[in-house]
Structure 1
């Protein structure tokens, strides 16, 4: 497997999982025990991360420009034996454009031998990768129970067209994300 795509519910543990993989990879390659029930990894000569950054008030260009510039610099440093952890990359633009940019970057990197772990809410991206006949991709999804609770477990699963953001809305605002329509009496 050269590509792991992780999708699923907001606040389901996707980014936390990704943040745990980097240190585990480095510990394994250093011969140090990894604090996990089990962990298997191949040796990579580089481990690089790419994700969204907070808005920089001194930024002279937009967030997407900044993301693309960082990705270009990363691509220049990656080797075929490298690994990259992508956390919500290219979400600074609309779904269509972000998905297309990410799809092309991922394709180029996997074709060159780079191993990729990708957390994304871009359904168009995850779905398009899932629909391609390939043996190199694996899909995990943050588990969400029918009542909306998160288990903070990743399960094997196809990408879904929702990240269940309405669950968080209802939790924060203590009101349904889709309120009942207001009924009015005609003539009033």
Structure 2
């Protein structure tokens, strides 16, 4: 369900950098494609623009993806732009948290003490987990996380 209302200041353009499917022609890898699109996007941006990112730079490892995302977002902010970034890259989010920026707002999906998810966004510091183990246990059963559990292979056709 969408928001009942939304309020924001005026920006000079809204741009997006969302993840795409992998290049079927194999002319480039997914990470290369993401960087190429970011380069093209950067040439179109102007001060006071807003850029929306969704899981950008997650196609490489955590350390490299976080570092690249941090460099790009820092450059955008230094140029007077706004960035909204949905990510599971903890190192990236944590690096910005440590800057204690008055303009930074960290939101995450609400999770009740019993583990129930409400799918509401609430303010909160970045966490170093996306609770993937919870989903694994829910989908495949609790025994998949225990080392003594019998290995299982599921093939989906």
Q: What range is the shorter-chain TM-score in?
A: 0.7 to 0.9
Shift of 1:63: 0.8
Question: What do the CA deviations read for 1:59-78 (whole angstroms, capped 9, x no partner)?
Answer: 31111110000001111111
* 2:136 equivalent to 1:169: yes
Report 1:3-42 matches (<5 A). 36-42=3-9
Task: Give the corresponding residue for 2:91.
Answer: 124
What are the ranges of 5 or more consecutive residues in structure 1 without an aligned counterpart? 1-15, 21-35, 183-188
Give matches, 1:130-141, under 5 Å: 130-141=97-108
Aligned counterparts of 1:76 and 1:114: Cα–Cα separation in 2: 13
What is the rounded CA distance, in whole Å, between the counterparts of 2:94 and 2:144 in structure 1? 25
Match of 1:45 among 12, 19, 23: 12
User: Cα RMSD between the aligned structures?
Assistant: 1.7
Runs of 4 or more above 4 Å deviation: none
2:23–2:29 CA contact under 8 A, matched in 1: no
Aligned residues: 149
Offset at residue 38 of structure 1 (A): 2.8
**Hey, what does 1:76 align to over in structure 2?**
43
1:146 aligns with 2:146: no
Unaligned runs of 5+ in 2: 150-157
